[in-house]
Amino acid sequence: MTSNSFVWDLGLKILRFIRMRRIFVNFVEGSADNSDIEFARFLGISIRSVYEAVAGFDLALHYKMIDDKLNIEIEDKAEELIKQLSGFRSSLKS
CATH number, domain containing residue 70: 1.20.1440.60
- Look at residue 32 in the predicted model and tell me its pLDDT: 77
Domain count, the chain: 1
- Look at residue 47 in the predicted model and tell me its pLDDT: 92
- Look at residue 1 in the predicted model and tell me its pLDDT: 55
Range of the domain at 26: 3-93
Q: Are 12 and 56 in contact (CB under 8 A)?
A: no
- The stretches of the chain forming alpha helices (DSSP H) are 3-31, 36-62, 68-93
Pick the more confident residue, 86 or 56.
86
Give the mean pLDDT of 12-35.
75
Give the mean pLDDT of 8-19.
72
- Rounded CA-CA distance 9/20 in Å is 17
Give the mean pLDDT of 24-34.
76
Give the mean pLDDT of 5-34.
74
Question: Whole-number mean pLDDT of the chain?
Answer: 83
